[in-house]
Structures are given as structure tokens and as C-alpha cells.
Amino acid sequence: MSGTFAVGEKALFIDSKQRRYLVDLTDPGEFHSHAGYVPHAEVIGHEPGRQVESTKGARFIVLRPTLEDFVVEMPRGAQVIYPKDLAPMCMLGDIHPGTRVLETGVGSGALSMAMLRWGAHVTGVEIREDFLNRARSNVRSFLGVDALASYETSLGDSYEALPGGPFDRVMLDLPEPWRVVPHAEHVLTRGGILVAYTPSITQAVQVRDATGRGWVDRRTLEVLHRTWHIEGMSVRPDHRMVAHTAFLTVARWVGA
């Protein structure tokens, strides 16, 4: 999206300490923080990159939020998959326009949004209605109502059964993904890819054990995210980093 901000859009306010605030623009409306408030009218009708000043003199740069911004700041019920894992999961799963993806569970919709952005058709299964409603709300809020045409969701227990395929990809983010693997074998196309997101290595081991006969190219990895401090001649890794969040296990189904 380009052009000036409009009523109903989301705006990202960034202060001098790089703190980020996601705001829904309304008319009338105000963005409030510890540093005073800024009327939304100071943003609506202006292009991204505008600097605004609060009633207490604090300055903010206002930009359109990226998907990364939205995933970190969006309303959530379940714990989200963070951006550092979303992009690798889409690469490992070879997500591209037209890919038929089965995702379970959908949680707050972070992975759903990433795959929809990459052009996939996503069929989501979630056991909790509140999570499912939150995921659909987040997809609609950030990607727009048209994205829902490629996003079919339903309540269901993936440990018992999966929707009829065929699917090109199966993406798993639930406590016992190995229990879904036998069902995935009946809905995946030959050469199809399964990706499982698991917080603990013992979960990853059980996924690997489940992807036995008929599965090839099995891999398990984790993604580490370290930023750097760069200020003049002072160049060093930051003291803090986002290290472990989860293990990603990928396998390809070729048939028993």
C-alpha cells in the first residue's frame, strides 16, 4: 500500500528509543503513551515517514507497519510463532503462489498470514474456537477481507482426523505433532512437505520417529537471531540475542 494514511489504517509510531506502538487510525482519535498524546489527525492524510510531536514534546516517526511489526504487536490468544521462524518455515515448506497448505493449529494466525502473503491457499484447523476467531480477525485486520477467500478454517481435532486433501504442504504447530503425521500421509501429495514447529528437542525427536517409512529428506534445525551494535567505531554483537524459540523439523512424503 502506498500514498497517504487514511482512517481505518494501521500506523506504527516509533519513538526516540525505538519503542514501537501499533495504532488503528480513527477520526477523531488520539494515540496516548507515557509521553503525552498525538491526535490521529496529525497522521491521517499524510505520507509515511512523517515526524509528529506529542503534547509533552516527545517525537515519533510514523510508518506503515510491516507483517513483522504486526506479528509482534498484534492481539493474541496463543503464543505466536515469531518472525525469525516464520520466514524459514515458509522457505523450508517451499510456500509459493497457489500452494495448497493444511495448517494445524492456527493459534493467533501469524504463520497463516505469512503463507497467505506468499500466495498460498491455507486450510486451517484449530481445536479452540477462541483461537480460531482470533486468527481470522488478525488475518482480516492486517491483510484485508479479501485474504479470507484463500483462508478456509474449521474447528477440529487434528489428532483424530484431517480434512480431505490433497494438500501440497502440512504445517504443524501443536503440542504432539507426531500424532498428526499418520493422518498427513493420507492427505499429502507425493513429494509433499511437512514442517513441524516444536519448542523442545524431545518433541522434535518424536516427530522424526513418526516420519519413518515413506518419508525422505528429513532435517531438524533451529534459527538463532543476533543483532549487532553499530555506532561509529563501536561495532560488536549486542549483549542480548533471541536464541532458542523452537526446533523446525521438515520431511518429504514419497509414499509407503
- pLDDT value of residue 7: 96
Domain count, the chain: 2
Domain end marker among 65, 84, 110: 65
Q: What is the model's pLDDT at position 117?
A: 97
Domain-embedded: residue 225: yes
55 is in which domain, residue-wise?
10-65
User: Does residue 108 belong to any structural domain of this protein?
Assistant: yes
Q: Are residues 154 and 244 in the same domain?
A: yes
> Does residue 28 sit within a domain?
yes
What does pLDDT average to in each consecutive run of 10 residues of the chain (256 residues)?
90 95 95 94 96 96 96 84 96 98 95 98 97 95 96 97 95 97 97 98 98 97 95 93 93 93
**Same domain assignment for residues 82 and 133:** yes
Of 49, 65, 81, the residue at which a domain comes to its end is: 65
Structural domain includes residue 194: yes
Q: Tell whether 53 and 82 lie within a shared domain.
A: no
Domain end, chosen from 23, 46, 65, is at 65
pLDDT score recorded for residue 157: 97
Residues 130 and 110 in one domain: yes
Residue 235 domain-assigned (yes or no): yes
Are residues 100 and 225 both part of a single domain?
yes
CATH number at 15 reads 3.10.330.20
Question: At which residue does the C-alpha cell 531438524 appear?
Answer: 220
